Amino acid sequence: MSDTHLVVFIATCALATFATRVTPFVALARQAEHPLILHLGRYLPPAVMMILVIYALRDFRPLAEGQLNAGATGWPMILASLAVVVLHLWRRNALLSIIGGTAAYMTMVQLGWTP
Amino acid sequence: MSSANAWREATTLTLPVMFGYLPLGAAFGILAVEVGMPIWAALLMSLLIYAGAGQFLAVALLAAGAGLVEVAVATLMLNSRHLFYGLSLLKRFKGAGWRKPYLIFSLTDETYSLLTTLPPERARDHALALRLGLLNQAWWVIGSLAGALIGTALTFDSRGIEFALTALFIVLTLEQARRLRQALPFVIALATGVAALLLLPDRHLLLGAIAAASLVLLVHYRFQAPARSGEGHS
């Protein structure tokens, strides 16, 4: 593959990605104060955050195919997530919660531990 | 706040993203080199495209010899959830001036999450937003470059480190809940998220859930609006 083709290819991806990010700002520039936009601005971020959590944990399907089957990383994922929640409710230190949970997850996954 | 302190503050805020972006970026760099891309091309992608899943998709399409139209359509589809991110940041990015184009360009899932969870008094701090955006992209670029350069020679067992991003989203959800003190958006997200999980294929899951949640919020708004403005008529 030629370098030119590669650059055109990358430019296409870059433009398409930027288009998805910039469209609302261009199309709705004058509607920023509209009550509906304010409504979405208030409620959409927490909803998106929760959806991102569900998405990140999507591999945990304990009842998939009608039997107990959480996949290789299913239970470590859930246990580490609980650790994050407990740590965060307890100390409310974002970095501590994240490092604690990640360390727990890495330990379980690397040792191949699963209940 | 002095400039050095401001950067230190922003670095601390982006540390969780760093734990996620360095290994993910490295995974991207390794993959790019494995399918035969030159290192400069992998670097260019992380600099100009800057979208995690989007770049993995691009490499796969490139390896499969996909055409430009196909690539453009696939990228638009995959990243269309960003449309909804912009919707909720319209007001916040007002008055960002010269920083605005980069703030919009750098709106990844993680940057969006960090920005919307900042305390209210920092919500319009565009200088801080720019620093967060730049640092997050720096972690991504450094990760990709490291992956492309040293790739398979890495000996550090980093299996599982990508959980840092999951942990980040959990922490940010808890922070959003603490701030808002209303169950509504979380109930909506739970319903649309689980429904999408059950009904949609993996590649449409995120977009489907976010679009559905926006739609429900729209309906919620329509039903609330008469109650708010209609007191004079009834």
pTM given for the model = 0.83
Q: State how far residue B203 is from chain A, nearest Cα, in angstroms.
A: 11
Q: Which of B58, B160, B206 sits opposite A106 (nearest CB)?
A: B160
Calpha distance B100→B106 (Å, rounded): 10
Q: Which of B55, B107, B217 sits opposite A21 (nearest CB)?
A: B107
Q: State how far residue A30 is from chain B, nearest Cα, in angstroms.
A: 9
Mutate to test the interface with A, among B11, B80, B106, B171 (most CBs of A within 10 A): B171
pLDDT tens per residue, range B38-76: 999 999 999 999 998 889 889 888 888 888 988 898 888
pLDDT tens per residue, range B88-142: 899 899 889 999 999 999 999 999 999 999 998 998 999 999 999 999 999 999 9
Residues of chain B with Cβ-Cβ distance to A28 below 8 Å are 87, 90
Calpha distance A48→A62 (Å, rounded): 24
pLDDT tens per residue, range A9-64: 999 999 999 999 999 999 998 888 889 988 988 899 999 989 989 988 987 766 55
Per-chain mean pLDDT for chain A: 87
Per-chain mean pLDDT for chain B: 88
Q: Tokens 């008469």, residue? A: B226
Mutate to test the interface with A, among B57, B68, B88 (most CBs of A within 10 A): B88
Check B79 against A21: CB less than 8 A apart.
Answer: yes
Q: What residue ranges do the domains of chain B occupy?
A: 3-153, 182-233
- Report ipTM (2 d.p.): 0.88
- The three-state DSSP-derived secondary structure of B13-54 is HHHHHHHHHHHHHHHHHHHHHHCCCCHHHHHHHHHHCCCHHH
- Predicted confidence at residue B234, as pLDDT, reads 33
Check A39 against B213: CB less than 8 A apart.
Answer: no
Q: Which residues contact B170 (CB under 8 A, 6 or more apart)?
A: A53, A81, A84, A85, A88, A97, A101
